[in-house]
Amino acid sequence: MDTIHITMPDGAIRDVPLGTTAAEIAQQISPRLAKEALVARVAPIHGPAAAAASASTGAMAEKSPDAAPEARMTSAANGEGFLVDLRAPIDQDVRLSILTPKDPEAIQVLRHSAAHLLAAAVLELFPNVKLGIGPPIDTGFFYDFVRAEPFTPEDLERIEKKMRELAAQDIPNERKMMPKPEALELYRKWDQGFKCELVEERAIEPMVSFYTTGKFIDFCRGPHIPSTGRIRAFKLMSVAGAYWKGQEGNPQMQRIYGACFYTQQELDEYLHRLEETKRRDHRRLGQELDLFSVQEEAGPGLIFWHPKGGLVRKIMEDWLRDELLRRGYDLVYTPHIMRLELWKTSGHANFYRENMFGPIEVEKDDYQLKPMNCPGHILIYKSRLRSYRELPVRLAELGTVYRYERSGVLHGLLRVRGFTQDDAHIFCMPEQIESEIEACIDFAFAVMKTFGFSEYVVELSDWDANHPENYAGSAEDWARSTGALQTTLTRLNIPFKRMEGEAAFYGPKIDVKLIDAIGRPWQLTTVQFDFNLPGRFGLEYVGEDGNRHQPLMVHRALWGSVERFFGILIEHYAGAFPVWLAPVQAEVLPLSEKFAEYAKKVIVALKDAGFRTHLDDRNEKLQAKIRDAQMQKIPYMLIVGGKEAEAGTVSVRHQSKGDLGPRPLAEFVSSLKQEVESKSVQQ
């Protein structure tokens, strides 16, 4: 009998008979591994030709192109081999890994098998449906069906129940090979036209691979988990319309979506996060709290800041401008439209064209709505000859820019056509880079702390050193700047991920992503070198040696844009701004008209102390007033009646902590003052 060599991940080599399966090897290693195993990864040792040869035998056929499109996410062949069923006979020397729930890529195989389970359950309940495709997706799976009646929420419940039944039966997922004509005949008899089409288009003769789950049979490349029993933590989520093959004009299908994870806990966490995402949606909160709007009449992607949103923006911007001045930046303003010629010099008219609004003709001259602030700041730098003594020059602007985005991708405050960047450009000498970078990072962390974020991810994007021809700047420029970014991050003890080849053509950069209250990352701060613009604009300074030199240029934005950061804050705080940012910090609620006079006295005391306050003097019950103030997420409610008027107190209610009892007015004012001054981010 022939023997093959199996190289395990730890380097150990096992000699086994030809045709041994990964399941058998798992069993030899430990019964526990055999029990946990979901799928295997194999990499033929003698190169891709060997794999292709084996594909035709059907044993390890994952490289064969007879794939239904659904399989593409799970078994794309790459340098590290490909995924196969545990029961696939191994027919050559391979490197083998046996994947368990600990391996992230195995989850997509589980989800693909869950899609098959869904189709099997639907067929049991609705035998006449026509089948489309069913791939895994990021958080679960879907399957497309054609059926005359729409699937109702009750149908989904029944289908999910049936899936649980079939899962409990632990039905094996079996791979079968059959000749193409036989496969077509099978689907023709079954009247599954879409599947016939897929077999016609994709199957490579002579043999076609199928998977069966009980009565369900699918033209599918696989791989799959051994049996349905491992599919435990799933939930059908929704039905949506979809076109066959995603093309408009093709038959309409009903797509059933499901969520699927290894454990119930992971599924519960995911469902909770979905709920939270909905609850925190800044578009809904923006309307409920009357913060901003997008007006169809004015055009998509253009933001109207309402008084309350405008107030929060003012507070945010005040903080930022104070910090900019304190940290040695100069504040500038530049025009919103400038000659198109300027954008030709900068190169934007060429490489950034598709993100720009079209030019505007004025007196036979073309003008351009600005998509970026950089050329404006460059013109200020260039307005006179600079000496090394003035460097670094740090020009900052809350600069409003306009960019063309397709209307389909616009999204509330997060993706817009007009926005205000908290932009700055630093012009410095090479020996100043490190301290400038460090200062930028320090500023970015101050932003995070001030606005209540504690987790973050940092990425350093470098060039692809094998293709210097694709980049502006010399190898020396890149090495020095990337080195400065890296040294600074390392010195500050900030963990980062290096992204080789991810830099823009004009320079390396650091990106900081914030992690919000429910664990979502948001791209925010960018610190980016530019080896392109200083040359294009002929920037110079007179060095200590009396000669002219080209300064280094750094673009940096901390919030990214005021609009986007505001949207992120709304979601991070779920609309309940900490007291230093809240548009109304304390609402005064008189028990009845009788106490209007004392209520006004309280308002005056608060206003005199500099607080933002509002009197709810409607003729409503206290409960209704409290409920409305809660809905508006106002941090403090001050209830005043006879007792309070007599004692000079207020009964304090906090929007998350509830009733805090009566407090002397002066005492409340001084504790509020402290809370605001410390910029506490407690909600």
Q: Which residues are catalytic?
A: 374, 403, 421, 423, 425, 509, 555
Q: Which stretch binds Zn ion (CB under 5 A): 80-88, 329-337, 371-379, 388-396?
A: 371-379
Peptide bond into 392 cis (omega under 30): yes
**Contact track, Zn ion, 519-538, x by CB under 5 A:** --------------------
Q: Which stretch binds Zn ion (CB under 5 A): 274-282, 369-377, 493-501, 660-668?
A: 369-377
Binding residues among 45-64 for Zn ion as defined by CB under 5 A: none
CA 72 to chain centre: 23
CA 565 to chain centre: 14
Asked if residue 290 lies in contact with residue 311, where contact means CB atoms within 8 angstroms, the answer is no
**207-213 vs 216-219, strand pairing mode:** antiparallel
Closer Cβ to Zn ion, 537 or 598, answer by number: 537
- Among candidates 135, 159, 16, which has minimal Cα distance to 67? 135
Nearest approach, Cβ of residue 67 and Zn ion (Å): 9
Nearest approach, Cβ of residue 134 and Zn ion (Å): 6
Closer Cβ to Zn ion, 220 or 576, answer by number: 220
* Residue 453 to residue 460: CA distance in whole angstroms: 20
Nearest approach, Cβ of residue 508 and Zn ion (Å): 15
Asked if residue 437 lies in contact with residue 527, where contact means CB atoms within 8 angstroms, the answer is yes
Structure tokens at 584: 């109304």
* Residue 511 to residue 369: CA distance in whole angstroms: 27
Q: How many helices (H) and strands (E) does the chain have?
A: 21, 33
Beta-bridge mates of residue 368: 338
Residue at 108: amino acid letter: Q
Binding residues among 117-176 for Zn ion as defined by CB under 5 A: none
* Residue 382 to residue 384: CA distance in whole angstroms: 5
Q: Which stretch binds Zn ion (CB under 5 A): 69-77, 88-96, 323-331, 483-491?
A: 69-77
Q: Which stretch binds Zn ion (CB under 5 A): 90-98, 372-380, 537-545, 620-628?
A: 372-380
Structure tokens at 407: 């209307």
Closer Cβ to Zn ion, 109 or 413, answer by number: 109
Task: Examine residue 436 and tell whether it contacts Zn ion (CB under 5 A).
Answer: no
Binding residues among 207-266 for Zn ion as defined by CB under 5 A: 220
Closer Cβ to Zn ion, 70 or 422, answer by number: 70
Nearest approach, Cβ of residue 184 and Zn ion (Å): 18
Closer Cβ to Zn ion, 89 or 507, answer by number: 507
- Among candidates 376, 514, 509, which has minimal Cα distance to 452? 514
Residue count, binding to Zn ion (CB under 5 A): 4
Closer Cβ to Zn ion, 209 or 254, answer by number: 209
Give the residue, chosen from 255, 282, 348, 555, that forms a contact with Zn ion under the rule CB under 5 A: 555
Element containing residue 188 per DSSP (H, E): helix 180-190
Nearest approach, Cβ of residue 114 and Zn ion (Å): 10
Closer Cβ to Zn ion, 70 or 155, answer by number: 70
Peptide bond into 135 cis (omega under 30): no
Residue at 503: amino acid letter: A
Asked if residue 69 lies in contact with residue 246, where contact means CB atoms within 8 angstroms, the answer is no
Closer Cβ to Zn ion, 374 or 665, answer by number: 374
Q: Which stretch binds Zn ion (CB under 5 A): 66-74, 402-410, 606-614, 647-655?
A: 66-74
Secondary-structure breakdown of the chain: helix, strand, coil percentages, each rounded to the nearest 5: 40, 30, 35
**Contact track, Zn ion, 167-186, x by CB under 5 A:** --------------------
* Residue 316 to residue 305: CA distance in whole angstroms: 14
Asked if residue 625 lies in contact with residue 640, where contact means CB atoms within 8 angstroms, the answer is no
Nearest approach, Cβ of residue 587 and Zn ion (Å): 42
* Residue 624 to residue 73: CA distance in whole angstroms: 53
Nearest approach, Cβ of residue 150 and Zn ion (Å): 24
595 DSSP 8-state letter: G
Give the residue, chosen from 289, 374, 503, 603, that forms a contact with Zn ion under the rule CB under 5 A: 374
Give the residue, chosen from 66, 70, 85, 616, that forms a contact with Zn ion under the rule CB under 5 A: 70
* Residue 532 to residue 513: CA distance in whole angstroms: 26
Residues at the contact surface with Zn ion, assessed by CB under 5 A: 70, 220, 374, 555
